[in-house]
Structure 1
Amino acid sequence: MKLLALLALSARRSASSTELYLQADLDSDVVFIEVWGRGALIGYARLVRVRSADEVRAGRPVATFELAALLSAHSPCPDPLVS
């Protein structure tokens, strides 16, 4: 089963920067998201928890995850995969 999460880009240093943060209500310390481009799967982004759920949005605690790696599209589907 895929987990559902709200994605939010934050703390970008410039319009063309590559910082990516996921802010979500998740229990896991590591999550993966699919990365697509022009209708084709590019790979899977591995995100690791960098800050615990110390913020509340819409009545739910929100943790912050940071982009740590990008796996190839040919890699086995990682778990847990957030959609």
Structure 2
Amino acid sequence: MRNTITVRMADEMIAQIDALIAEQSGYVSRQEVVRHLVGRALAIEGGLPRAGKSAGGAARSVGEVQRAESDAAVPVQVG
């Protein structure tokens, strides 16, 4: 069973996602990037921000995931 969720994002976060897409070879959708980043965030010790964090805290989590991948010397390749 596939579930569907709708997520509102700040323009800055969408711009970060679009920048990540621009780095990929071939077509990658925003949905694929979001699924990839959420999966990576859940795999990082500590997981996602705790409930009650502001939208700004969530926006920083995308950067935290990218930094963690960068620190691990693992290139972000979606798809």
Shared topology, TM-score over 0.5? Answer: no
- The structure where helix makes up a greater share of residues is 2
Q: How does the TM-score come out when normalised to structure 1? A: 0.30
More strand by share: 1
